[in-house]
Amino acid sequence: TFSENAGGPWPSLTNVMKFNETVEFNNTLQKSLVIFNAGDEDLSYSIETSDYPGLVTPSPASGTILPGSSDEISIVFDSAEFEAGEYDFDIIIHHNADTDDIIVPCKVKTLPNNLLVWEDFNNWPPQDWQITSTLAEANWTISNSSAAGGTYPEASFNATPLLLLDGVQRLISPPINTAEFSNIYLEFKHSASTYNNLYQISVQTSTDLENWTVVEDFPNTGFAGNKYSSYIDNEDVGSDTFHVSWTFTGNSFYILYWVLDDIVISGGEDYAEVFGTVTLSNSENPANVTLVLDDQTTSPDAQGNYSFSVFPGTHYLGAYMAGYENMVFRNLELDSGQMLQQDINLQYIEPTLYPATDLSATVQEFNSVQLAWEAPNVQSQEILYHNGYSGAGIGTNTPVEAEFAIRLTSEELDDYVGWELGKVSFMLHTMEFNSALVHIYEGGSNGQPGTLVYEEDVTNKALSQIWIDEILEDPITILPDT
């Protein structure tokens, strides 16, 4: 619905609505945004960022725009004081118009030192890259999609052309001089979708384009977009003709696509590694555990061993599996080249057992005794589900302690009097928090929570986009008029 401007200043952006940029190591990148005043009064503005001071410098950072005029703002991204990695934040434009502040989302990737290859497939085929196939045609191409988790375009291995023959097809990096390095860091984003699992996808290395060493085989069952990273320290490292290949082996009929984006290859000395062993208190297979390090995911092998390669900096590590309590390690500080061992033991959540009632024993004959009892009549029912509030945040500019509370009146609980409250589940959509607690209050009124009857710190269980189940060891009985 369009409405006539009621008067006053009226800000709008005319050239960009967001930034998704890559900045080389210890370098700058200049972009711009244009603010236009579509109103009939002067527009005053000031610009700041929500996080990472120094990564972005706007110029001018404030000013006044006459009606019908515009200001072009220079936006300089500077990686000098920042570790290699990805940074998400907002440019916030405050103004005197009777509308909300303008928010410009930013995603900035700062590249590492010793960078050997950076490829985002904005040009196809990339210069000095090779596409090879043992078949008459090749299935590697460019796609205007972003399924790997980057931005379009991305490299894509497709089902077509459909030759219905087994073959080996490769997307191969340029020759890389790795003579100065004992290990190489490899990072890329990818995802796959499949019709059948009768194929293999992998990343491999070579020095002569004939003999190939497997670095990693990936699942042939399909997987969502994620970032893969690893150190490579095989015998190919050290060569001045080091190649990396993304290899499909099999019949392309069985795969829908395998897409790649944002490839980083660099000297590995700048990176850190987190490794360890995962065990389960109930002695189940640890390979079923999901591990999360920032935006990377993996699972341990059958012996529980795992490893992540990461940029230096502050990270979080989480582990979860159905039936077990989540475990999260926050604020892991990693230095360049550091090897951090972090073993993980997940605890099984014991099911709640309810005893039988009215147990009786009757002697029948001689040594025969008949036992009788009433089986527990236990029902489990969700009392309330609330999906949160979208787009109703409160800007604070600084960290604050806040509670998201759901209040149930006594009338809403009438049907549950005598029941026991046994579990509270919630999901967070960010890891940008210092602590997370579950509070349950009894009594009170609107704005007054009443008496605190349950409190549990779940900070070290809370993972973004994962349900956190807080099971009450001592369930709370729902009383009348509460």
Band (37; pLDDT cuts 50, 70, 90): very high
Average pLDDT over residues 243-254: 96
Q: Residue 393's pLDDT is what?
A: 60
- Residue-wise pLDDT for 318-346, tens only, equals 999 999 999 999 989 888 778 999 999 99
Distance CA 351, CA 151 (A): 44
189 phi, psi to nearest 5 deg: -105, 145
- DSSP three-state, residue 336: coil
Least confident of 80-84, 111-115, 116-120, 392-396: 392-396
Q: Residue 3's pLDDT is what?
A: 43
In percent, the amount of the chain with pLDDT more than 90 equals 57
Q: Residue 374's pLDDT is what?
A: 87
> Between these two residues, 388 and 406, which has the higher pLDDT value?
406
Q: For the purposes of burial, counting CB atoms within 10 Å of the CB of 308, is it exposed (0-12), middle (13-18) or buried (19 or more)?
A: buried
Band (6; pLDDT cuts 50, 70, 90): low
Distance CA 108, CA 146 (A): 17
Least confident of 90-99, 251-260, 412-421, 425-434: 425-434
Average pLDDT over residues 16-33: 93
- Measured from the Cβ of residue 71, the count of other Cβ atoms closer than 10 Å reads 17
Q: Residue 396's pLDDT is what?
A: 60
Q: For the purposes of burial, counting CB atoms within 10 Å of the CB of 319, is it exposed (0-12), middle (13-18) or buried (19 or more)?
A: buried
**Mean pLDDT, all residues of the chain:** 89
Q: Residue 122's pLDDT is what?
A: 92
Distance CA 14, CA 34 (A): 6
- DSSP three-state, residue 155: strand
> Between these two residues, 259 and 233, which has the higher pLDDT value?
259
Band (221; pLDDT cuts 50, 70, 90): confident
Strands (E), 207-254: 213-218, 223-232, 243-251
Average pLDDT over residues 226-240: 92
Average pLDDT over residues 135-142: 95
Q: Residue 397's pLDDT is what?
A: 55
Residue with tokens 């014991």, as numbered in its chain: 350
Average pLDDT over residues 396-414: 76
Average pLDDT over residues 242-256: 96
Q: Is the dihedral of CA 474, 475, 479, 481 positive or negative?
A: positive
pTM above 0.75, yes or no: no
Average pLDDT over residues 450-466: 89
- Residue-wise pLDDT for 288-302, tens only, equals 999 999 888 999 999
Average pLDDT over residues 220-243: 92
Q: Residue 320's pLDDT is what?
A: 94
- Single-letter residue type at 50: S
Q: Residue 449's pLDDT is what?
A: 79
Average pLDDT over residues 82-97: 92
Q: Do residues 167 and 227 make contact, with C-beta atoms less than 8 angstroms apart?
A: no
CA 264 to chain centre: 19
DSSP code of 252? G
Q: Which domains does the chain have, with CATH numbers?
A: 11-110 (2.60.40.10), 115-270 (2.60.120.260), 272-346 (2.60.40.1120), 380-482 (no CATH)
CA 220 to chain centre: 22
Q: Do residues 464 and 452 make contact, with C-beta atoms less than 8 angstroms apart?
A: no
Would the pLDDT of 445 be above 80? Answer: no
Q: Residue 389's pLDDT is what?
A: 62
Sorted by sequence, the CB contacts under 8 Å of residue 98 that are 6+ apart come out as: 6, 8
Strands (E), 233-326: 243-251, 255-267, 272-280, 290-293, 296-298, 305-310, 313-320
Average pLDDT over residues 379-401: 68
